[in-house]
């Protein structure tokens, strides 16, 4: 049997070419640089407001938020005045992992927004709640060594039994060696003391944000590698959110001249945090690429770009925007890189949108595009011979009529999840 071409999607919240391009030029993102040479590059027009759950769900469905139903960081519980974190059973449109999963085609998804509770697929899903799993309770469990108290919540992963396997790969703040942040910033003695004292993320403490988002990304990196090795799915997608948060909190140290009141000593010590985070992501990319051959497809994308917050330190800034020196409020483009045998080499295309990812993935797999999708196939990224052989076709919809039948479900990680969103200014 012919070996199937595998597809790897590396999804980075808030990644921007403005930072990646110079890092590639200086040779510190070698994995990305190699893929750039063999792929098609684009800026990715985003949606406004630039809120991650709705955009990542639009990326996954090809549909606008009003159609897919995941409209913000907190969404209304149908038929009530309450709100909830957006869960997968609120989504009213099929995602690419639903559409492509079949008895002959396996998929694996790690960490993607609004994938809890994990849906049934041929393959696996490690949901976006998996790394927040009841850490404090878990800590008690470990100390009590009473396994009966430590039964995992259902639906953190699909299959449910996968949770037990990835749990050792999930990192927790209480066991984290703070000196590891020395790869991103120059830590002073006071920094280490403060880092030890942080029990959660705080929007006022940039190092606490760096610490926690690095831990979250490490959890998905490690559990993703475990699941990828075990399942070797035909399509694998991993989502990492850390760089967006680091950009929000550390931009002023990278470009201190653009902001009032940045102490030069801190600019010196924290000024490389963002760049170093991209370098870390390039290393992670390299680890995942170790499972692929040069004939496979690699797709790298972000939901929106990121830039300096021009209101920072002015009277115009309010709430979180007094604290955040990096922003994506005005919809800077995200990134897209498509590489593999079907895509053009070294090409740059324009006019790509976050809505186009799923239609393009379907065309790549010879599947019809849903007429209810708002995006288009990025035909300019394909070699012409591929599209001649595989003309784009359409189907009325890929989404079952009864999708989005919401049933309340909790993972136990909601408090920490909300705390992270609060520290990033997304919810009050």
Residue 74, SS3 per DSSP: coil
Shortest CB 241 distance to Zn ion, Å: 8
CA distances in angstroms from 87 to 68, 404, 406, 416, listed in the order given: 12, 10, 8, 15
# chain residues binding Zn ion, by CB under 5 A: 1
Rounded CA-CA distance 317/21 in Å is 29
The pairing of strands 123-126 and 107-110 is parallel
Given the rule CB under 5 A, which of 164-172, 238-246, 372-380, 396-404 is the region that contacts Zn ion?
238-246
Nearer to Zn ion, 244 or 275 (CB): 244
Segment 252 to 291, residues that bind Zn ion, using CB under 5 A: none
Shortest CB 247 distance to Zn ion, Å: 7
Which residue number is nearest to Zn ion in terms of Cβ?
244
Shortest CB 123 distance to Zn ion, Å: 29
Tell me the two tokens of residue 137.
Answer: 């309770």
Nearer to Zn ion, 153 or 244 (CB): 244
DSSP string, 364-380: HTT-PEETT-S----GG
Please name the residue ranges forming H helices in 255-355. Answer: 264-270, 273-289
Contact 10, 39 (CB under 8 A): no
Nearer to Zn ion, 165 or 329 (CB): 329
Rounded CA-CA distance 212/218 in Å is 10
Shortest CB 379 distance to Zn ion, Å: 31
Nearer to Zn ion, 71 or 244 (CB): 244
Given the rule CB under 5 A, which of 155-163, 243-251, 380-388, 410-418 is the region that contacts Zn ion?
243-251
Nearer to Zn ion, 16 or 360 (CB): 16
Nearer to Zn ion, 217 or 244 (CB): 244
Shortest CB 4 distance to Zn ion, Å: 35
Rounded CA-CA distance 131/4 in Å is 31
Shortest CB 294 distance to Zn ion, Å: 34
Rounded CA-CA distance 41/35 in Å is 10
Tell me the two tokens of residue 73.
Answer: 């960081």
Given the rule CB under 5 A, which of 26-34, 76-84, 241-249, 394-402 is the region that contacts Zn ion?
241-249
Given the rule CB under 5 A, which of 101-109, 110-118, 236-244, 342-350 is the region that contacts Zn ion?
236-244
Q: How far apart are the first and last CA of the chain?
A: 55
Rounded CA-CA distance 15/246 in Å is 11
Contact 59, 363 (CB under 8 A): no
Residue selected from 128, 217, 244, 275 as contacting Zn ion according to rule CB under 5 A: 244
Nearer to Zn ion, 128 or 244 (CB): 244
Determine, following the binding rule CB under 5 A, whether residue 51 of this chain makes contact with Zn ion: no
Given the rule CB under 5 A, which of 103-111, 176-184, 237-245, 270-278 is the region that contacts Zn ion?
237-245
Rounded CA-CA distance 381/36 in Å is 13
Nearer to Zn ion, 244 or 356 (CB): 244
Shortest CB 68 distance to Zn ion, Å: 20
Query: Quick one: residue 123, left, alpha or beta (phi over 0 = left, psi -120 to 50 = alpha)?
Result: left
Shortest CB 244 distance to Zn ion, Å: 4
Read off the DSSP letter of residue 128. T
Query: Which residues of this protein are in contact with Zn ion, per CB under 5 A?
Result: 244
């Amino acid at each position: 049997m012919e070996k199937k071409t595998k597809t790897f999607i590396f999804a980075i919240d808030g990644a921007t070419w403005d930072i990646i391009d110079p890092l590639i030029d200086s040779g510190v993102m070698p994995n990305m640089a190699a893929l750039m040479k063999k792929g098609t590059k684009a800026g990715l027009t985003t949606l406004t407001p630039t809120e991650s759950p709705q955009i990542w769900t639009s990326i996954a469905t090809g549909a606008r938020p009003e159609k897919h139903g995941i409209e913000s960081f907190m969404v209304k519980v149908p038929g009530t005045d309450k709100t909830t974190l957006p869960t997968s059973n609120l989504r009213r449109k099929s995602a690419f992992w639903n559409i492509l999963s079949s008895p002959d085609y396996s998929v694996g998804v790690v960490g993607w927004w609004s994938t809890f509770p994990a849906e049934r697929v041929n393959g696996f899903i490690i949901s976006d709640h998996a790394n927040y799993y009841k850490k404090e309770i878990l800590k008690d469990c470990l100390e009590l060594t009473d396994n009966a108290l430590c039964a995992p919540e259902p639906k953190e992963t699909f299959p449910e039994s996968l949770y037990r396997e990835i749990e050792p790969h999930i990192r927790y703040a209480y066991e984290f060696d703070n000196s590891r942040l020395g790869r991103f910033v120059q830590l002073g003695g006071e920094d280490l003391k403060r880092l030890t004292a942080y029990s959660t993320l705080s929007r006022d403490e940039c190092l606490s944000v760096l610490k926690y988002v690095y831990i979250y990304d490490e959890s998905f990196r490690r559990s993703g590698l475990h699941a990828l090795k075990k399942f070797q799915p035909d399509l694998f997608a991993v989502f990492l959110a850390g760089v967006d948060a680091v950009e929000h909190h550390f931009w002023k140290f990278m470009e201190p001249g653009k902001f009032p009141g940045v102490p030069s000593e801190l600019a010196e010590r924290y000024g490389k945090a963002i760049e170093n985070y991209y370098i870390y992501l390039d290393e992670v990319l390299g680890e995942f690429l170790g499972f692929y051959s040069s004939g496979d497809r690699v797709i790298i994308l972000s939901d929106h770009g990121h830039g300096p917050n021009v209101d920072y330190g002015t009277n115009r800034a309010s709430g979180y925007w007094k604290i955040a020196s990096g922003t994506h409020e005005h919809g800077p483009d995200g990134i897209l890189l498509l590489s593999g045998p079907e895509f053009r080499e070294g090409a740059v295309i324009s006019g790509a949108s976050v809505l186009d990812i799923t239609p393009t993935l379907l065309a790549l797999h010879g599947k019809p595009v849903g007429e209810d999708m708002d995006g288009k196939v990025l035909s300019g990224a394909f070699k012409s011979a591929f599209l001649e052989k595989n003309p784009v076709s359409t189907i009325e919809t890929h989404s079952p009529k009864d999708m989005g039948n919401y049933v309340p479900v909790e993972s136990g990680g909601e408090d920490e999840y909300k705390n992270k969103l609060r520290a990033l200014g997304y919810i009050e």
